[in-house]
Amino acid sequence: MSDLQYYLGLGSNITPAKNLPRALELLHKYVVVETISTAWESPSVGEPGPDFLNAVVRINSALQPNDLKDRVIHPIEAQLGRVRTEDKNAPRPIDIDILVVDQQAYTDEVWIYPHLALPLAELIPDLTHPVTGETIASVADRLVRSTPIRPRPDILKGPQL
């Protein structure tokens, strides 16, 4: 069985400048990280809270999505202190989500939220919406105009790969 190509979203709004690089460091212990986007800072979504830092990484893995969650994503989140509650918008030290699998969006949220669309567009700008045909780069360009989001190149600098 050949490897699947994944794009994972990493987000944090509890000591994010520490937790985002730490999550990336831990990912390297489980999978080969091919590339990583710039970190982006944006306001909390869903309820008031500290600003988030978000980034997207491209990895390859032979694991299917549910196995990747069980064997890689959830253990890293637990190690960094993530406790899942009923409030999906609660502040968190780390959140790792599967965004794209083999050039197909795994969640429709990539087309809605700039904190996902912008870093994703850096890595896979030609990802195309299956219904509208719009590229993620075009979506990101549109969303950034109405959202206070800014690049934070200081967060994930240095030899990350």
Domain count, the chain: 1
Average pLDDT over residues 27-41: 93
Distance of CA 15 to the CA centre of its chain: 16
Average pLDDT over residues 15-43: 93
- Asked if the structure places residue 49 within a domain, the reply is yes
- Asked if the structure places residue 157 within a domain, the reply is no
- Asked if the structure places residue 120 within a domain, the reply is no
- Asked if the structure places residue 142 within a domain, the reply is no
Q: What is the DSSP letter of 44?
A: P
pLDDT at 53 over 80: yes
State the residue range of the domain holding 16: 4-103
Kindly report the average pLDDT of the chain as a whole number: 90
- Asked if the structure places residue 22 within a domain, the reply is yes
Predicted TM-score of the model (pTM): 0.92
- Asked if the structure places residue 23 within a domain, the reply is yes
pLDDT of residue 158: 45
- Asked if the structure places residue 54 within a domain, the reply is yes
pLDDT of residue 159: 42
How many whole angstroms separate alpha carbon 49 and alpha carbon 43? 8
Please count the other Cβ atoms lying within 10 Å of the Cβ belonging to residue 75: 14
pLDDT at 61 over 80: yes
Q: Which CATH number is 27's domain given? A: 3.30.70.560
Burial (CB < 10 A; 0-12, 13-18, 19+), residue 99, is: buried
Average pLDDT over residues 42-65: 89
Cα-trace Rg, the chain: 15
Strands (DSSP E) contained in the chain are 4-12, 32-36, 40-42, 52-61, 95-101, 104-105, 150-151
How many whole angstroms separate alpha carbon 78 and alpha carbon 26? 11
pLDDT of residue 160: 44
pLDDT of residue 89: 62
